[in-house]
């Protein structure tokens, strides 16, 4: 039993355990302790260093550098625009250090689909694709609701592209319920007092705002300007760590879903 086999096995077990525990916490509370990422990142870095010492090559060094750089850039970028929370970014950074190389060859696993040379990017690709399925589900839900009546009431002044994005990011919910479940939903619109009346405006990236949009909403409800039975567009606070965990297991036993789709499309075209 080689050292590379043992380090690959240790990495897979480490990530499987940490990601599973973090997913449970993310699903239950939408908050994850930094201890998960400290353990995963530090242990993963040590195991990667052992692999580098035991089987050093320029190719390994390049893959490691690309993995770390790509995960850092993606984590920072997606956090900045509001698509990632802090825990999601930290998880991706840890994966960049812990799983730059595909462990399947060292473990003797035969993945069914195409393999990305940078394993952490395979996990990222799979997680984004599984998260996109939720957007498809939300769009279908809104399409069904549209049959029963109009979806937009007061947001007609918003641009077509904003309303289109809202259709795949969220759905309407009573204000009272949104306030009681504020850790699980992000408001996609705000109520603004203008010209003696209340107007609605979409704010689609509320996750990256410094101010808490619920504070202003609660003040308007307390003043009676907005009623608890009024509806507001909200987006579910997606537990992305769950998607990352699913993406990890898909990458381990199947491969890269994005590469598989791209390969299938190329086969159809060519």
- Highest mean pLDDT among 85-94, 181-190, 193-202 belongs to 85-94
Residues 232 and 249 in one domain: no
| Per-residue pLDDT tens digits for 76-117 | 999 888 788 899 999 999 999 999 999 988 888 877 888 899
Residues 116 and 181 in one domain: no
Is 138 among the domain residues?
Answer: no
Is 143 among the domain residues?
Answer: no
Confidence of residue 156 (pLDDT cuts 50, 70, 90): low
Residues 75 and 126 in one domain: yes
Which of these, 131, 68, 84, lies nearest to 257 by C-alpha position? 131
Query: So what's the pLDDT on residue 119?
Result: 97
| Per-residue pLDDT tens digits for 140-150 | 999 888 888 88
Residues 67 and 47 in one domain: yes
Query: So what's the pLDDT on residue 73?
Result: 97
Residues 226 and 248 in one domain: no
Q: How far apart (Å, rounded) are the C-alpha atoms in residues 3 and 255?
A: 24
| CATH number of the domain enclosing 263 | 1.20.120
Is 222 among the domain residues?
Answer: yes
Give strand ranges (E) for the chain: 171-174, 185-187, 189-194, 197-202, 231-236
Q: Work out the mean pLDDT of the chain and round it to a whole number.
A: 88
Q: How far apart (Å, rounded) are the C-alpha atoms in residues 230 and 247?
A: 38
Residues 65 and 118 in one domain: yes
Q: How far apart (Å, rounded) are the C-alpha atoms in residues 181 and 186?
A: 9
Number of folded domains in the chain? Answer: 2
Residue numbers of the domain that contains 81: 3-133+241-269
**What's the N-to-C CA distance of the chain in angstroms?**
44
Residues 18 and 127 in one domain: yes
Pick the range with the lowest mean pLDDT from 16-30, 46-60, 173-187, 252-266. 173-187
Is 204 among the domain residues?
Answer: yes
**What is the pLDDT averaged over residues 29-44?**
94
- SS3 (DSSP) at 197: strand
Residues 112 and 217 in one domain: no
Is 11 among the domain residues?
Answer: yes
Q: How far apart (Å, rounded) are the C-alpha atoms in residues 161 and 1?
A: 57
Residues 152 and 28 in one domain: no
CB 218, CB 179: distance < 8 Å: yes
Residues 152 and 170 in one domain: yes
Is 56 among the domain residues?
Answer: yes
Q: How far apart (Å, rounded) are the C-alpha atoms in residues 133 and 131?
A: 5
Q: How far apart (Å, rounded) are the C-alpha atoms in residues 31 and 23?
A: 10
Residues 117 and 179 in one domain: no
């Amino acid at each position: 039993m080689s050292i590379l086999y043992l380090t690959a096995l240790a990495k897979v077990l480490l990530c499987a355990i940490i990601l599973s525990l973090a997913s449970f916490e993310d699903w239950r509370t939408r908050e994850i302790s930094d201890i998960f990422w400290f353990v995963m990142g530090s242990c993963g870095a040590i195991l990667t260093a052992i692999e580098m010492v035991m089987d050093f090559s320029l190719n390994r060094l390049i893959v490691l550098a690309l993995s770390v750089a790509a995960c850092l850039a993606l984590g920072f970028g997606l956090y900045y625009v509001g698509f990632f929370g802090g825990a999601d970014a930290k998880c991706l950074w840890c994966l960049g250090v812990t799983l730059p190389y595909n462990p399947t060859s060292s473990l003797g696993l035969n993945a069914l689909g195409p393999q990305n040379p940078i394993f952490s990017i395979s996990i990222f690709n799979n997680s984004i694709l599984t998260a996109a399925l939720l957007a498809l589900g939300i769009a279908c839900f809104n399409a069904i609701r549209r049959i029963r009546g109009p979806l937009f009431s007061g947001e007609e002044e918003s641009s077509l592209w904003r309303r289109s994005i809202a259709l795949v990011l969220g759905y309407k919910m009573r204000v009272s319920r949104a306030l009681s479940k504020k850790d699980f939903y992000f408001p996609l619109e705000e109520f603004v007092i203008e010209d003696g009346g209340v107007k609605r405006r979409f704010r689609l990236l509320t996750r990256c705002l410094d101010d808490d949009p619920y504070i202003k909403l609660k003040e308007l409800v307390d003043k009676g300007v907005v009623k608890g039975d009024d509806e507001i567009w909200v987006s579910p606070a997606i537990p992305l760590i769950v998607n990352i965990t699913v993406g990890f297991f898909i990458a381990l036993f199947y491969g890269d879903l994005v590469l598989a789709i791209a390969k299938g499309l190329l086969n159809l075209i060519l």
